[in-house]
Amino acid sequence: MSISSLEWTAAAACRNGHREVFFPPAHLEHREERSAREELAKRICKDCPVRLECLDQAVSNREIHGIWGGLNEEERRRLTR
């Protein structure tokens, strides 16, 4: 993928950090913790001006971790079935 095709990332609502909200921690995460973390990430994604570009990127690259375009791993798998 070329750098120019990732220009949309400059407009992403998540561009200023908080990686820990969008990706699971290295340690075991309890269901309640995961739900709360994912809900926060999805709220950030909800009004993101490049949400669809982000989701397309994740689906195209078969991202297996994290919240991308407002969807988690399982939601993206269901979307592509």
The percentage of the chain sitting over the pLDDT mark of 90, rounded to a whole number, equals: 80
pTM of the model: 0.87
What is the per-residue pLDDT for 61? 93
Assess whether pLDDT exceeds 70 at residue 1.
Answer: no
| Residues sharing a CB contact under 8 Å with residue 80, sequence separation 6 or more, in sequence order | 59
Task: Provide the residue type at 10 as one letter.
Answer: A
Quote the CA–CA distance of 2 and 38 in Å, as a whole number.
29
Average pLDDT, the chain: 91
Most distant CA pair in the chain, distance: 38
Collapsed DSSP state (helix, strand, coil) of residue 65 = coil
Tell me the pLDDT tens digit for each residue of 30-59: 999 999 999 999 999 999 999 999 999 999
